[in-house]
Amino acid sequence: MGLGVRMSPQMCALPPGKRNLISDVPGVLVGHTDVIAEGVRTGVTAVLPGEDPFGRKFPAACHIANGFGKSIGLVQIAELGTLETPILLTNTLSVPVCSEALVSGALAGHEEIGLTTGTVNPVVLECNDGAINHIRRRMVTEEDARAALSSASSDFAEGDVGAGRGMTCFGLKGGIGSSSRVIPLGSSRYTLGVLTLTNFGAMENLQVSGMALGAELLRAEERGETPLGLLANDAHRRVAPRGETGSIVTVVATDAPVDARQLGRLARRVTVGVVRTGGYIGDGSGEIVVAFSTANRVAHWPDRGIDRIERLHESEMDGMFRAVASATEEAIVSSLIHAHTVRGLWGTVHSLADAAAYNGLRLPVGECSR
């Protein structure tokens, strides 16, 4: 929550919100549950868009830049353009149990589901944390998912927490990152927030504020100037082979009055932020985005069959595009900066801060100018 990153002018072109978190969008809350046992480092992260998402749905869109993923709920979002449950993030093999938790919650809150109306579309996003976590043990439970939902608040931790417990990014410890931007439009101000679950990238490609930091770390390693052994252990070989593997899932929220089509345009611009940090959307990587707006909510039961909404004019979308690109870039770096070195299933995975410190590199840590 607080670190932020002093970034390039591109990243800081728009001011962040009060917390510089996705929860700067009014009504949006985030909660985590950690699941830790022998060989197990995993968890669940919940993003709550607002009250009663089934009864009053949120305009939404999804974008799949590379579909190496096992998410659930995207087909209906793409078809109907609405979100009707909270969003849960977890590891790949825990998607079904998290889906069960969302379905159970919706059934408990709406007795009409499956009887006098249709069923419910749970949304669960995932990354494979098997390089740190013994993913085959499938330790996440419905209770863990419910705990993440019930703990959601506007202030939440980043880094190796919740779904981010077992994630790696650019060969270093990754996890949960978040950022926000405020977009002026006449006398109005709209907020856009991003939350990322980072589990992608090859170290040689890592860029922080335009600095080729990953290449610097590798050169120091090859010269034998660091005791970390970034390249010499099984953990590194598994989490950061030379090539783009892993995944990044991103949730975008805004209070701007945009429709599902415009949210799709926003979701596609997330890839700009991914590329700025050194990702290139490789064959073995899954880049999945879900974007929603808290404006123009859609009633489950129609009023005379007509929806009336306000919508941002297309000519005003450029500010939104700049916001989502810069907030995504900062959220990815924030996931690295907030993470800690951990001993995983296959060896030690180092944090960005530890790797840089051992190499005498100064990280550009600070905050974007407000």
Residues identified as active-site: 247, 285, 287
Look at the alpha carbons of 302, 305, 309, 315 in this order and tell me if their dihedral is positive or negative: positive
Tell me the residue ranges of DSSP E strands in the chain.
29-37, 40-48, 56-67, 82-83, 87-91, 123-127, 168-169, 172-173, 176-185, 188-200, 245-254, 284-293, 298-299, 342-344, 347-349
Alpha helices in 18-159 (DSSP H): 74-80, 95-109, 142-150
Structure tokens at 99: 């889906």
Q: For tokens 């290139």, what's the residue? A: 280
Q: How many CB atoms lie within 10 A of CB 250?
A: 28
What is d(CA 361, CA 340) in angstroms, rounded to the nearest whole number?
17
- Contact, 218 vs 203, CB < 8 A? yes
Distance of CA 192 to the CA centre of its chain: 14
Distance of CA 58 to the CA centre of its chain: 18
Helices then strands, counting H and E runs in the chain, come out as 8, 15
Which residues, including other chains, have CB under 8 Å from residue 168's CB and lie 6 or more apart? 129, 131, 132, 174, 199, 239, 240, 246, 349
What is d(CA 147, CA 141) in angstroms, rounded to the nearest whole number?
10
